A = this chain, B = another copy of it.
């Protein structure tokens, strides 16, 4: 069994690296959104032409990013969505809803402060973890049947 895992959400800490590094010996293929904040914000106008109105600047960029995001979620067996401490992170919750509607196995990675606010998202998940290490342990268990030592 090979797992394809999409790592959605927060882009300001190294949680993706921790998971990818921890799972380096497992049969997992990871995909992620573009995590370069500046490139992600400006890709639309950089490629398709400047917009004086910030609304359309953002619109062009968000649509280009959707090409990658949708492909990543649609191909995934497991979608991990990380909610960090800062920002609104509505795109993370949007991805979680998108993944849930497609029947993907959803793992939420979030801290106790957000427990109540995330209860609807958690209810759609097959696991709620608070540490990247736990996500690695889940992937390892799913693939090998072994519990962490």
Contacts and interface: CB of A to CB of B under 8 A. Distances in A.
Interface of A: 1, 3, 31, 34-36, 39-40, 42-44, 46-48, 53-56, 58-72, 77-78, 83, 87-103, 105, 114-124, 126-129, 134, 137-138, 141-143, 145-148
B66 A105 contact: yes
Contacts of A96: 94, 97
Contacts of A114: 88
A58 B115 contact: yes
Given A94-B94, A115-B55, A120 B65 contact: yes
Contacts of A115: 54-55, 58
Given A56-B56, A117-B88, A64 B94 contact: no
